[in-house]
Amino acid sequence: MSNENTQSPGQDPLVVGELNAEEQAVLQTLRDNMNSYLLEIGQLEVAKARILGAIQKGESRANEIMEQIAKRLDIPANSQWQVTPDKKVRVLPNANEV
C-alpha cells in the first residue's frame, strides 16, 4: 500500500492532495455559471431601476393631470373624488357629512 500523502522536505504539511482534472473542471464550470448568474442579476437590477423610474414618472404625470382636472372642475383641495367608468367625475361625500 502506498501513501500518496507522503510529504517531501519543504512542502506545506497542511496540503493533503490535489484536485483531479474532472473535479477542477466541474468546479470551474460552477464558478463560471455563478459569475454569469451574478452578472445577469446585475443587469436585471438595472432594468428594474429603469422600470421603477418609468412607473414613478407615470404616477407623477397622472397626479398632475388629476390636479388639473380638480382645478378645472373647482373641486376643493381636500375633497375625495373619483372618475367613473363612464368618464364622469364624482365628488365623494365627506365621512362627517354621511
Look at strands 89-91 and 81-83 and give their pairing. antiparallel
The distance in angstroms from the start CA to the end CA of the chain is 95
Tell whether 10 is covered by a domain.
no
Domain ranges, residue 28: 21-91
| Grid cell for residue 88 | 364622469
Tell whether 36 is covered by a domain.
yes
Tell whether 14 is covered by a domain.
no
Q: Is 16 exposed, middle or buried (0-12, 13-18, 19+ CB in 10 A)?
A: exposed
Q: Count how many domains the chain has.
A: 1
Reported as a pLDDT band with limits 50, 70 and 90, residue 1 is very low
At 40-65, the pLDDT tens digits run: 999 999 999 999 999 999 999 999 99
Tell whether 7 is covered by a domain.
no
